[in-house]
Homo-oligomer: A and B are copies of this chain.
Amino acid sequence: MAAAIALAERGKGLTGNNPSVGCIIVKDDIVIGRGWTQPGGRPHAEAMALEQAGPAVKGSTIYVSLEPCAHESVRGPSCADGLVAAKPARVVAALTDPDPRTAGSGFDRLVAAGISVERDAMAVEAHASLAGFISRITKGRPHVTLKLATSLDGCIAMADGRSRWITNDAARAHAHVERARCDAILVGAGTVRADTPKLNVRLPGLEGRSPRRIMLGSGDAPEGWEAIRTPDAISALDCNSLIVEGGAQTASAFLRAGLVDRLMLYRAPIIIGGGKPCLGDIGLADLSEAHGRWQLSDTRMLGNNRFEVYEAIPCSQA
Contacts and interface: CB of A to CB of B under 8 A. Distances in A.
B310 A290 contact: no
> Which secondary structure characterizes the binding site on chain A?
loop
A272 interface: yes
Interface in A209-255: 252, 255
List the 8 shortest-distance A-B pairs measured between CB atoms, nearest first: A154-B154, A273-B282, A274-B281, A270-B290, A273-B279, A274-B280, A153-B279, A269-B294
Which of A268, A273, A310 has most B Cβ within 10 Å?
Answer: A273
A318 to B, nearest CB: 11
A277 B154 contact: yes
Interface string A112-153: 000000000000000000000000000000000000101111
Interface of A: 148, 150-155, 158-159, 162-166, 252, 255-256, 263, 265, 268-274, 277-284, 286-287, 290-291, 293-296, 304, 310
A10 to B, nearest CB: 31
Nearest to A165: B287
B164 A287 contact: yes
A294 B164 contact: no
Nearest to A295: B269
Given A153-B154, A154-B153, A159-B281, A270 B291 contact: yes
